């Protein structure tokens, strides 16, 4: 596809969306997209829709290999759904990989600059491609399975860990309407699937047939199972206040145009984020962040891979790509817990500035109207989506940066201290926050700290 | 499930000789019950290089480079300990200027060694950044040494009868610049970064407590002994060189954060000793006289009368002693070195059996004893 065709396509796609917007009105259009995704159908991922439209409009040219197969068996009926599905999976997977590459690079740079070093500088400008080079190196390395290891478990453990993390991306939004699948029980899903990762780690440590790995495994099991409780309580508190398990609903209740109990509309500002909903939420956000550090095995809770004690923890015996999968999973989990924190407490994709938030939402704020006049409704809608993605990612990346900052500053706690922090500090604190939030909701009739209640739209 | 059906086993865990936190090729076999250590058994000797036997086959001057390689992190003090014992045996007078230079280089080397101890201790506890900070500043000292004697680690700078090269004014001003850079700004930075960090204190306070009497009975010396509250420092108690003319304090552990003699105390003694070392260097630079820096005659070879002697100096890890027997030739009949790390690490197995020690604590204890395996095994 040459550039001219591509730009034409983009123009046509834009036009189609615009026509749809004009036909249905922007509110309905947005509502259309927020309906639950049914596997590549209406709504869902923006791009999935575009692909569907593309395949509906065009047939695959003859010169493409297997074009007849695609056009025949996966023709206009089935291909869009499958394509949408694949695109969605590809988007999530691609995001995780690209994020991991970027995060490893930035972790090196952050640590380097905190330690008066330069970090990677050789491969690419400022060592940007260092992680790519490392990835290639890991790919080409020999895949060693120890002779006395449990071969099956050893081989599949990295995949289980990686899958456990990746699955949690399913109900996680990347921006307004950009979500693989807005599950009704999204938060529950995130918490439940997290346990799969623990299983993988236990498999890896046990199968390695290495005493140090076994130590790490036991530590991981204790740690992750314990810290799931404060995290779960944080989830419960937010669910209780927001009345929904869906991550999208939780975000929608923190910004944009908010509806209070009497059905009155309010402008959503930064102080309507859950973080400021009531004083307990503020404490809860901190307990969640600390617990999430432990959940993704980051310093100061990096006991499972404490390099000075356990050599390299549960992945001591792993080489090559299997090791890289653990690495990927760790960085994906970093983003994941940060993104969940953004959803739960930091207003998701809402920037906290009402006028900015309303760009492309079809409301009549001065900024939105002005942009409408300048850019036209389609571009404004696209701009709105992009801003929300940007806001969401920025917030998550800031939290990831804080995770790195903590890691390169603090020493590691001991196992008993780690358990003490969980069971005697975080758990009581989050329980108090849960009860406090309950009482707050009861006493104020569901009103937030700033005087009016927010209910599900 | 009834209790009888749950069966737990003790695990025999082999820590080292290839392990990140044993500070070299040190091996501990630990019997563990979960994370708790029930018993430990240290194994040394992986770095044995027959120093003492080698010394019997070389003349007195040729032994000096072997002493470098004992405690390679504070080679100056090892050189000095050996040179001092031969000087005592032969009655060689060391020029005044050389004595000052010896104090300057030895104290700088003590700072370099303590910096490494600080950095690796942070690494043992899980803080990686202090390690790189420590290396940044240790590098400055090594640069000065490189300028002085062309070596960064195994100096062989302090020799029988003086020092190898004279200290130029340029190097002296470099050292002064380092002192101004380092104290107090940088040490305060370290204290802020690690010493008073809550997690660090909780990991090290009340861990690996060595009571004073136990430390003495095991022959623990140096910062590890002073951490237990025993104010013994050869520089003050049995002054050699020109230490009796200089003013300095001997920091001891006081149990500020926990009990006297815990890991934090031992760690903190080193941090405070760095300040004292800088103080000593400043005084020595101020008073350094002109004159010869070596006894040229001694540099050509020594031939002590038959006899024996023992002389010890305060190294970075404790008392470095050399027992030398001469049979009247230019080759020592016997050289026996007292290596502080060897005595200090001997207390490890006692510590692990004395109290409840977890696996992470074992790493903290080994780190706080600050061993150098080159010296343990010799």
Domains and CATH numbers, chain B: 3-377 (1.10.645.10)
Ranking A77-81, A112-116, B9-13, B218-222 by mean pLDDT, the lowest is A77-81
In the A/B pair of chains, how many CB contacts fall below 8 A? 81
Q: What is the pLDDT of residue A15?
A: 63
Could you give the 3-state DSSP secondary structure of residue A447? strand
pLDDT at B153 over 60: yes
> Which is more confidently placed, A71 or B181?
B181
Closest CA to A245 of A4, A12, A36: A36
CB of A276 less than 8 A from some CB of B = no
Supply A245's token pair.
């398990």
**Angle between helices A320-345 and A377-407 in degrees, nearest 10:** 110
Contact residues on chain A for B128, CB-CB shorter than 8 A: 111, 115, 408
Average pLDDT over residues B200-212: 88
Distance, CA of B264 to chain centre: 17
Is B127 within 8 Å of A409 when comparing Cβ atoms?
yes
Is the pTM above the cut of 0.95?
no
Q: Select from A115, A309, A409 the Cβ nearest to the Cβ of B363.
A: A309
Of B141 and A308, which is predicted with more confidence?
Answer: B141
Contact A115 B128 (CB under 8 A): yes
End-to-end C-alpha distance for chain B, whole angstroms: 54
Q: Is the pLDDT of residue B353 over 70?
A: yes
Q: Give pLDDT, residue A69.
A: 60
Tens of pLDDT along chain A (457 residues) come to: 345 555 565 566 666 656 665 565 544 544 454 443 333 333 344 555 555 555 555 566 666 666 666 555 544 455 555 666 677 777 778 888 888 888 889 999 999 988 888 888 888 888 888 888 888 888 888 888 888 888 888 888 898 988 888 888 888 888 776 777 777 788 888 888 888 888 888 888 888 888 888 888 888 888 888 888 899 899 998 888 887 888 888 888 887 777 766 667 777 777 778 888 888 888 999 999 999 888 888 878 887 777 767 777 788 888 888 888 888 888 888 999 999 999 988 888 888 787 777 777 766 777 777 877 787 777 777 788 788 888 889 999 999 999 999 988 888 888 888 888 889 999 999 999 999 888 887 777 666 666 555 554 4
Query: Residue A424 burial (CB < 10 Å; 0-12/13-18/19+)?
Result: exposed
CA angle B55, B58, B62 (to 5 degrees): 95
End-to-end alpha carbon distance in chain A? 43
Picking from B34, B127, B359, the nearest residue to A411 by CB comes out as B127
Residue A259 host element (H or E): strand A257-259
Backbone angles phi, psi at A292, to 5 degrees: -70, -30
Nearest chain B residue to A412 by CA distance is B126
Where are the domains positioned within chain A? 141-444
**Rounded distance, CA B280 to CA B175, Å?**
12
What pLDDT, on a 0 to 100 scale, did the predictor assign at position A428? 92
Which run of H or E residues covers position A313?
none
CB contact under 8 A, B126 and A412: yes
B339 pLDDT exceeds 80? yes
Q: Which three-class secondary structure state does DSSP give residue A158?
A: helix
Farthest CA pair distance, chain B = 84
Confidence at residue A63, expressed as pLDDT on a 0 to 100 scale? 66
Nearest C-alpha neighbor of A275 from the set A342, A229, A185, A337: A342
Could you tell me which of A54, A63, A64 has the C-alpha nearest to residue A9? A54
Decide if B360 and A409 are in contact by the 8 Å CB cutoff: no
Q: What gap in Å lies between CA A393 and CA A397, rounded to an integer?
A: 6
Chain B residues with CB-CB distance to A206 below 8 A = none
Q: Does A73 contact chain B (CB < 8 Å)?
A: no
DSSP classification of residue A413: P
């Amino acid at each position: 596809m040459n550039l001219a065709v591509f730009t034409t396509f983009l123009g046509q796609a834009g036009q189609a969306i615009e026509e749809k917007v004009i036909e249905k009105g922007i509110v309905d259009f947005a509502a259309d997209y927020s309906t639950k995704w049914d596997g590549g159908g209406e709504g869902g991922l923006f791009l999935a829709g575009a692909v569907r439209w593309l395949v509906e409009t065009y047939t695959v040219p003859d010169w493409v290999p297997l074009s007849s197969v695609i056009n025949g068996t996966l023709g206009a009926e089935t291909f869009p759904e499958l394509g949408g599905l694949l695109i969605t999976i590809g988007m999530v997977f691609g995001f995780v990989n690209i994020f991991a590459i970027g995060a490893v690079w930035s972790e090196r740079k952050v640590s380097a600059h905190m330690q008066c070093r330069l970090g990677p500088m050789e491969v690419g400008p400022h060592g940007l491609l260092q992680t790519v080079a490392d990835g290639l190196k890991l790919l080409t390395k020999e895949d060693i399975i120890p002779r006395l290891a449990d071969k099956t478990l050893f081989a599949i453990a990295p995949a289980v860990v990686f899958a456990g993390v990746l699955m949690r991306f399913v109900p996680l939004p990347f921006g307004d309407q950009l979500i693989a699948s807005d599950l009704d029980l999204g938060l529950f899903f995130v918490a439940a699937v997290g346990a799969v990762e623990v299983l993988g780690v236990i498999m890896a440590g046990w199968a390695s047939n290495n005493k140090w790995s076994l130590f790490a495994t036991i530590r991981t099991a204790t740690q992750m199972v314990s810290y799931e409780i404060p995290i779960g309580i944080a989830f419960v508190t937010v669910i209780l206040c927001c009345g929904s398990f869906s991550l999208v609903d939780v975000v929608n209740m923190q910004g944009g145009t908010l509806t209070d109990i009497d059905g009155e509309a309010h402008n959503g500002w930064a102080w309507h984020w859950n973080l400021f909903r009531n004083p307990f939420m503020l404490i809860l956000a901190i307990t969640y962040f600390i617990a999430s550090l432990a959940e993704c095995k980051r310093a100061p809770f990096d006991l499972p891979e404490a390099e000075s004690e356990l050599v390299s923890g549960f992945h001591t015996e792993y080489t090559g790509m299997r090791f890289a999968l653990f690495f990927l999973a760790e960085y994906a989990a970093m983003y994941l817990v940060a993104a969940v924190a953004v959803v739960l407490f930091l207003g998701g994709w809402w920037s906290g500035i009402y006028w900015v938030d309303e760009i492309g939402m079809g409301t009549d704020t001065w900024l939105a109207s002005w942009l409408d006049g300048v850019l036209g409704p389609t571009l404004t809608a696209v701009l709105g989506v992009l801003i929300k993605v940007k806001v969401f990612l920025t917030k998550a990346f800031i939290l990831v940066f804080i995770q790195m900052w903590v890691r390169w500053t603090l020493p590691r706690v001991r196992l008993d201290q780690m358990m003490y922090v969980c069971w005697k500090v975080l758990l009581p604190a989050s329980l108090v926050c849960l009860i406090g939030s309950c009482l707050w909701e009861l006493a104020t009739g569901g009103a937030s700290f700033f005087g009016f209640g927010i209910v599900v739209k | 499930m009834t209790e009888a059906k749950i069966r737990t086993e003790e695990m025999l865990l082999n820590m080292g000789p290839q392990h990140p936190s044993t500070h070299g090729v040190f091996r501990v076999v630990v019997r563990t019950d979960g994370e708790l250590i029930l018993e430990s058994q240290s194994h040394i000797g992986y770095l044995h290089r027959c120093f003492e036997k080698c010394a019997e086959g070389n003349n007195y001057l040729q032994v000096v480079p072997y002493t470098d390689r004992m405690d390679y992190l504070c080679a100056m003090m090892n050189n000095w300990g050996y040179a001092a014992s031969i000087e005592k045996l032969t009655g060689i007078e060391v020029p005044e200027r050389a004595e000052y230079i010896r104090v300057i280089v030895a104290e700088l080397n003590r700072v370099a060694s303590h910096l490494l101890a600080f950095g690796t201790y942070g690494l043992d506890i899980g803080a990686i950044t202090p390690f790189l900070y420590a290396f940044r500043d240790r590098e400055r000292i090594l640069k000065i040494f490189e300028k002085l004697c062309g070596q960064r680690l195994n100096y062989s700078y302090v020799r029988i009868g003086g020092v190898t090269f004279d200290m130029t004014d340029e190097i002296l001003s470099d050292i002064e610049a380092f002192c101004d850079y380092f104290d107090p700004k940088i040490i305060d930075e370290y204290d802020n970064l690690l010493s008073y960090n809550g997690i660090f204190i909780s990991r090290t306070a009340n861990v690996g407590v060595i009571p004073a009497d136990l430390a003495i009975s095991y022959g623990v010396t140096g910062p590890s002994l002073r951490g237990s509250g025993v104010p013994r420092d050869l520089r003050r108690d049995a002054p050699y060189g020109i230490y009796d003319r200089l003013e300095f304090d001997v920091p001891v552990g006081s149990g500020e954060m926990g009990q006297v003699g815990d890991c934090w105390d031992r760690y903190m003694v080193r941090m405070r000793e760095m300040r004292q070392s800088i103080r000593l260097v400043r005084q020595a630079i101020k008073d350094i006289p002109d004159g010869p820096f070596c006894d040229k005659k001694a540099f050509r070879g020594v031939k002590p009368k038959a006899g024996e002697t023992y002389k010890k100096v305060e190294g970075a890890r404790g008392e470095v002693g050399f027992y030398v027997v001469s049979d009247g030739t230019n080759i020592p009949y016997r050289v026996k070195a007292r290596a502080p790390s060897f005595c200090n690490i001997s207390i490890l197995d006692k510590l692990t059996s004395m109290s409840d020690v977890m696996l992470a604590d074992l790493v903290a204890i080994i780190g706080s004893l600050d061993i150098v395996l080159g010296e343990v095994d010799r």
